[in-house]
Structure formats: C-alpha cells, structure tokens
Structure 1
Amino acid sequence: MSKTMENLMAAFAGESQANRKYLAFAKQAEKEGHHQVARLFRAAADAETIHAHGHLRNAGKIGTTAENLKAAIEGETYEFEKMYPVMIEEAEAEGEKVAARYFGFANKAEEVHANLYKKMLAALESPEEVDYYNCSVCGYTHEGPFDGDKCPICGAASKAFYKVD
C-alpha cells in the first residue's frame, strides 16, 4: 500500500471519529442547555463527514451498491465474529463489566446488521420497502416499527426505539 493510500485511510478514520465525537459532544451540550455550542458541534461534525467522504472516495473505496453491500457484510461479520469477542474477553479479564456488557450489545447488533445487508444484497433489484428502527441504547436495528416490549439485545423499553430517516 502506498503512503498516500495509508494517509487517505488514516485521514478517513480520523475524520470519521471526529464526526462521531462532535455529535456526542453536541448531544451533551443540548442536555446542558447550550444550544449554540451544540449547533457549532453539529456544523463541525458535518464538515468532518465531508472530509471523510472525500478521503474514502479518493482512496477508491466506494464501489457499486452491490460491492458496498459486500464490503459492509465483510466488515460487520469481522466485528461480530472476531473483533468484539476478543474485546469482550479482554474487558471481562480486566474486570471492566460495563465495557464488556456494551461490547456484547454491539457484537449482537453487528450480526443483525450483517444479516440485514445480506438480505438486501439478495433482493437488490427489488427490495421490500420497509422503515428501519434503531434501539438508542445498543444499536439494534429492526425492520418495521418495533412492536415488542423490550429490545431483544439490551432489554431497553420500546420507547428507546426511533425511526431512522
């Protein structure tokens, strides 16, 4: 891999992390009543997304929709089969119960995501029109309105679910 490609992927990772961090900061600012600060964090987060997308595009990492679905399946599968199990084990070994529990939530949600991507890839030319709902606690994604009492992954109440636009 060339140095430029390494730099593009490092820049993509950094900009992506900055986006997520700034959105988390914006949520906290809103909770504290600092609406203008939250607005600034969201604006900067959006700019970081522009940068991240540019780096990913320049690295040639955005393919056709079918290629992108296959890449997403590969990434989600890696996370739930290899990455999170090790993280869970290490957190448990260090007595970090909260981190281990949340890694477990994410692990289960990633498997659901991989399966949703597989389903979509199989139906790419004529997908079923469906809305998606996420659990705001663990990231579980549900097809259609969530009609259960509790999230099947983390046990959060149904009010934790929101429709993804």
Structure 2
Amino acid sequence: MSVNNAMTADFLRSAYGGESMAHMRYLIWGEEAQNDNYPNIGKLFRAIAYSEYIHAKNHFNILKEKLYDASVVSGAVFGSTNIVDNLQGAINGELHEINQMYPVYFETAKFQNEKEAQRSFHFALEAEKVHAKLFQDAQNSAKSNKDIDIKNVYVCPVCGFTTLDANLEKCPICNTKKELFKSF
C-alpha cells in the first residue's frame, strides 16, 4: 500500500497521531473508571481504545512502505478530572472526527483517487459514530452515579466497529464475521 498525494499522506499521518493519542487516553480513562468503581465504563473505554488502535494501524499501514521521519500535527484532549468530564472529552473527540476531520479527509482522498485512504477513513468515520453514542449512554449513567449495564463489548479487528450486540452475525461496516471480533 502507498499514497501518491502529499495532502492525503498528511491527513493519514494526522489521523494516525490522533487515533494513537485517543487509544492511550481511553486506556488511561478506562483505568480511572475502573478505580472509581465504574468497571463497565472502564471496559467500554478499553474496548474503544482497541478500536482506536485499529484505526491508527490501518492509517499507518497505508504509509509503511518506506521509513522516514515526519512531524505529526493532531489535536488531543488532555487531562482527567472525573468520569463525567472524561466521557465528555471522549464525546467531543468523537464528534470532532465525525463532523469535521474524517469527512474532509475522506473527500480529499476520494478527490485524489487514494482508494486505500478512502477505505481507512470510511472505516474510522463509521466506527466513531458508534463510539459517540456509546460514550453518551455511559455519560448519562455516570451523571446519575451509576455504571452502565453491559455484559461484553465486541470490536471488529478490521475496521474497529464496536458493539454490545452479542447476536450480531457480521460487521455492518466491513462484513467481517462476528466470531473474529475481539471481546472485552
């Protein structure tokens, strides 16, 4: 895989940086949720952290044909105050990706005929929509000082789609079979 256009390559690097930071931030916030007696919200953060890792990996793999140094510019939420605020930070990050970042990145890759980048951006965008909803539901519970009522969280290893549905047969984004999903 490779990219022929500098703008799409810049967007892939930026998305890689943002997804990498989201991965780590969600692991940290998940650990804090666990320590604050919100084990299921902690589980949700860990599962979505894995999804963000998949997005970062997909972006990285498109650019990995040569080794080089590059500055990566990407915004990130920093800090940690409490479970409700951390979830709001997660929601804000997901909404930024849904409403601003990935639509622009996708359209640029499409215009530049960068098929692999289009696919990677599409996968991430669709998964982020689910993440925003899951985080919003978790925040609604946390505002009442309650953990979310979930059993398992399942993540597609190809596109990062995240679901609570144990009966799902295949990924609605990339058609990967459910038995290949990672369970948290």
Alpha carbon RMSD of aligned pairs, Å? 2.6
Structure with more relative contact order (C-alpha pairs < 8 Å, separation 6 or more): 2
TM-score, normalising length: structure 2: 0.55
**Secondary structure of 2:154's match?**
strand
Cα 1:162–1:70, aligned 2, differ >3 Å: closer, same or farther?
Answer: same
Cα 1:97–1:60, aligned 2, differ >3 Å: closer, same or farther?
Answer: closer
For 1:122 and 1:89, locate their aligned partners in 2 and report how far apart those are by CA, in whole Å.
33
For 2:111 and 2:78, locate their aligned partners in 1 and report how far apart those are by CA, in whole Å.
39
TM-score, normalising length: structure 1: 0.61
Unaligned runs of 5+ in 1: 1-12, 25-55
Cα 1:100–1:133, aligned 2, differ >3 Å: closer, same or farther?
Answer: same
Which structure has the larger Rg over C-alpha atoms?
1
Letter aligned with residue 151 of structure 2: V
2:160 to 121, 139, 143: 139
Summarize deviations over 1:120-154 as a string: whole Å, max 9, x none.
01111222132101000110111142x22220111
Alignment of 1:37-116 (within 5 A): 61-116=79-134
Q: Residue 150 in 1 paired to residue 136 in 2?
A: no
Q: Moved runs in structure 1, 4+ residues, more than 2 A?
A: none
Cα 1:156–1:129, aligned 2, differ >3 Å: closer, same or farther?
Answer: closer
Q: In the alignment, which residue of structure 1 is the partner of 2:151?
A: 130
For 1:91 and 1:63, locate their aligned partners in 2 and report how far apart those are by CA, in whole Å.
37
Q: Residue 160 in 1 paired to residue 180 in 2?
A: yes
For 1:148 and 1:116, locate their aligned partners in 2 and report how far apart those are by CA, in whole Å.
17
Letter aligned with residue 158 of structure 1: K
For 1:77 and 1:60, locate their aligned partners in 2 and report how far apart those are by CA, in whole Å.
16
Unaligned runs of 5+ in 2: 1-16, 25-52, 58-75
Deviation at 1:159, TM superposition (A): 2.4
Letter aligned with residue 159 of structure 1: E
Summarize deviations over 1:88-138 as a string: whole Å, max 9, x none.
001111111121012111101001000000000111122213210100011
In the alignment of these two chains, the number of paired residues is 114
Cα 1:128–1:88, aligned 2, differ >3 Å: closer, same or farther?
Answer: same
